[in-house]
Amino acid sequence: MSATDPNKSSPTSDQVLIARQVNKTFFSTSGDKVEALRAVDLSVGRGEFVVLIGPTGCGKTTLLNILGGLDSPDGGEIRFAPGFRREDGLAYVFQHYTLFPWRKLLANVAFGLQMRGVPRRRRNARARDLLQRVGLADFERAYPHELSGGMRQRVALAQALAVEPSVLLMDEPFGALDDATRKDLQQLLIDLWQTTSMSVLFVTHNIDEAVILASRICVLSGRPGRVVQDIPVSLPRPRDHLAQPFTDRLLIVRQALYSDT
Amino acid sequence: MVPAALLVAWFFGARWIDQPWLYPSPVRVADQLAHPLRDHFGLGSLADNTLISLVRVLIGFTLAALLGVTLGLGLGCVSALRGLFEPLVEILRPLCPIAWLPFAIAVFKLQTLPQLFGVAHSRTIFDHVQLGMIFILFWGGFFPIFTCTLDGVRGVRRNYLSLARMLGAGPWQRFLHVFLPASLPMILTGFRQGLGLCWFVIIAAEMLPGSDSGIGYLLLYAADLCAMDVVIASMVIIGVIGALLNFTMRATMQAFLRWHGKEI
Ligand SMILES: Nc1ncnc2c1ncn2[C@@H]1O[C@H](COP(=O)(O)OP(=O)(O)OP(=O)(O)O)[C@@H](O)[C@H]1O
Ligand SMILES: [Mg+2]
């Protein structure tokens, strides 16, 4: 768990999550010290779509794990909005292993609700609805291994959304997909996000993806990761990735990434 | 093709040697197999004795499965217990189950299962189920099941545990919905190995002192009387049943675990 009580105080009412001065150092099995995060400051507003971008190995997964409560920081603090509890307000789509291979799709999507004690009929109805919304209504009896990578990520999204999180963490969920599938899923994610008041913290190292999705982009430096720039992206949606304002943003992000690393 | 050729060779070989008490023709063996209810030497038929062996195995195996899975799951999930039991396990595991026989006879004498419950003669097949046999069978089945379960639990990917945790699963729910299903393929593999080993062990145990029935006993008894057709018929039955047990377990596994071996 985090070093501090997550509900002690929240600086402003429109922020759901604040990380302050978060440090994390790993000791590898050979005894080497790997400083993954150094003094990371980050906040996520209510309903905001924040994209975290940084070079590989800069500690993005580490930061999400700490925010999700799977790992604890060595220093600094994590705070959530009052009344927020990770157990029922937070969902996390991992970089790998995003589904249970022994469960059919419907049971995978219904997992979170099952853990919360929602009766079978109700949770299955909700899972069915979500599978339909991610375009996999016909696959509820399939096993994950029977799906393509893109389909699996759709299910993972449905699985996370089933618990109606107020904060959704996503770790390079579309990283292994081809371009067309990736575009489809980005659009799907934006559509789903816009129908809720959920905040999303989305990790990627794809600049194009960052500018397509984000309402704000946080650029991390190479290891040890620090937030080096905070770039708001207030372009109207749906975004035309060939238009001038879009490519301007792209350039700004690219400069921020390359000036530091 | 190959079995047919062997059968023909056997047929003419036996005819040429012409010592049917040592090298019976396949026709005589087939005749024994075609009459499984025929009594032999007042010991009961091939079918009777096969059934006795099977009942012994199933009882011993069930006990081994219950304890093996429980202990495997327990030690797999609680690493503190593991350190406590591991040395004991490592010493007992390499021990051939048959080595327990003198100990089993000393402790259980020739007591049968009904006698354990105070019934001297139940006049059922269970009168042939000696506690000592169960004990030996237990050791035969226990270790494959226990070690497979333990390996299964320890091999559960941390990612699945984290995923369950992020979706709100508490410790007990993680046990029920992650540890258990994720290690089920290994548990069933343990069952398959354990059952196979039990079938091995019972045949050997029935040939040793303290035995009074079973297909292994009949085989050895027939051999002493130079009834090689019964011996070979028994061997065929033992082989076929062993294969059937293995096949059943494999089919069960495939039916239950359509996802197995297809990790994503
Ligand atoms: N459990 C661990 N033990 C030791 N070192 C670790 C551990 N987890 C991460 N690290 C190290 O911390 C650094 C940051 O890792 P992290 O997985 O957070 O990077 P990332 O930004 O997510 O990279 P990628 O974009 O490739 O996923 C890496 O150098 C990694 O080797
Ligand atoms: Mg990562």
Query: What distances in angstroms separate CA B217 from CA A148, A257, B31, B200, B231, one per listed residue?
Result: 56, 80, 20, 13, 10
What is the reported pLDDT for A42? 94
Taking the C-alpha atoms of residue A74 and residue A34, their distance in angstroms, rounded to an integer, is 13
The contacts of residue B8 (CB under 8 Å, 6+ apart) are none
Which ligand number lies closest to the CA of residue A205?
Answer: 1
What is the reported pLDDT for A7? 42
Domain that holds residue A148: 100-163
A94 CB within 8 Å of a chain B CB: yes
What is the reported pLDDT for A13? 65
3-class SS string, chain A: CCCCCCCCCCCCCCEEEEEEEEEEEEECCCCCEEEEEEEEEEEEECCCEEEEECCCCCCHHHHHHHHHCCCCCCEEEEEECCCCCHHHHEEEECCCCCCCCCCCHHHHHHHHHHHCCCCHHHHHHHHHHHHHHCCCHHHCCCCHHHCCHHHHHHHHHHHHHCCCCCEEEEECCCCCCCHHHHHHHHHHHHHHHHCCCCEEEEEECCHHHHHHHCCEEEEECCCCECEEEEEECCCCCCCCCCCHHHHHHHHHHHHHHHHHC
CB atoms under 10 Å from CB of B2, counted, come to: 6
What is the reported pLDDT for A99? 94
Residues of A in contact with B169 (CB under 8 A): 111, 115
Lowest-pLDDT range of A4-8, A59-63, B155-159: A4-8
**Residue A181 forms part of a structural domain:** no
Summarize pLDDT for A193-244 with one digit per residue, the tens.
Answer: 999 999 999 999 899 999 999 999 999 988 888 888 999 998 888 888 888 9
Q: What is the mean pLDDT of chain A?
A: 89
What is the reported pLDDT for B84? 84
**Residue A29 forms part of a structural domain:** no
**Residue A126 forms part of a structural domain:** yes
pTM of the model: 0.84
Phi-psi region of A59 (alpha: psi -120 to 50; beta: other; left: phi over 0): left
Q: Which of A113, A163, A203, A99 is nearest to B157 (CA)?
A: A99
What is the reported pLDDT for A8? 42
- For atom 16 of ligand 1, which residue has the closest CA? A59
Number of structural domains (chain A) is: 1
Which of the four pLDDT bands, split at 50, 70 and 90, describes residue A260? Answer: low
Which of the four pLDDT bands, split at 50, 70 and 90, describes residue A5? Answer: very low
What is the reported pLDDT for A9? 43
Helices (H), B123-179: 131-154, 158-166, 171-174
Summarize pLDDT for A149-186 with one digit per residue, the tens.
Answer: 889 999 999 999 999 999 999 999 998 888 888 999 99
**Residue A136 forms part of a structural domain:** yes
What is the reported pLDDT for B264? 62
Q: Which of B157, B184, B172, B199 is nearest to B72 (CA)?
A: B184
Q: Kindly report the backbone phi and psi dihedral angles of residue A177, in degrees, each rounded to the nearest multiple of 5, phi listed first.
A: -100, 160
Q: Which of B256, B241, B130 is nearest to B195 (CA)?
A: B241
Tokens of B25: 């023709």
Lowest-pLDDT range of A121-135, A185-199, A247-261, B222-236: A247-261
Question: In chain B, which stretches have pLDDT less than 50?
Answer: none
ipTM for the assembly? 0.88
**Residue A111 forms part of a structural domain:** yes
State the burial class of residue B43 (Cβ atoms within 10 Å of its Cβ: 0-12, 13-18, 19+): middle
What is the reported pLDDT for A3? 42
Task: For residue B130, give the 3-state DSSP assignment.
Answer: strand
**Residue A173 forms part of a structural domain:** no
Can you name the CATH fold of B43-256?
MetI-like fold (1.10.3720)
Mean pLDDT across the stretch A125-131?
95
Kindly list the protein residues whose Cβ atom lies closer than 6 A to any atom of ligand 1: A 26, 28, 34, 36, 56-62, 95, 205, 223
* Strand-strand pairing, A167-171 and A199-204: parallel
The best mutation among A35, A58, A92 to test binding of ligand 1, ranked by most ligand atoms within 8 Å of the C-beta, falls on A58
Inform me whether the pLDDT recorded for A66 exceeds 70: yes
B90 CB within 8 Å of a chain A CB: no
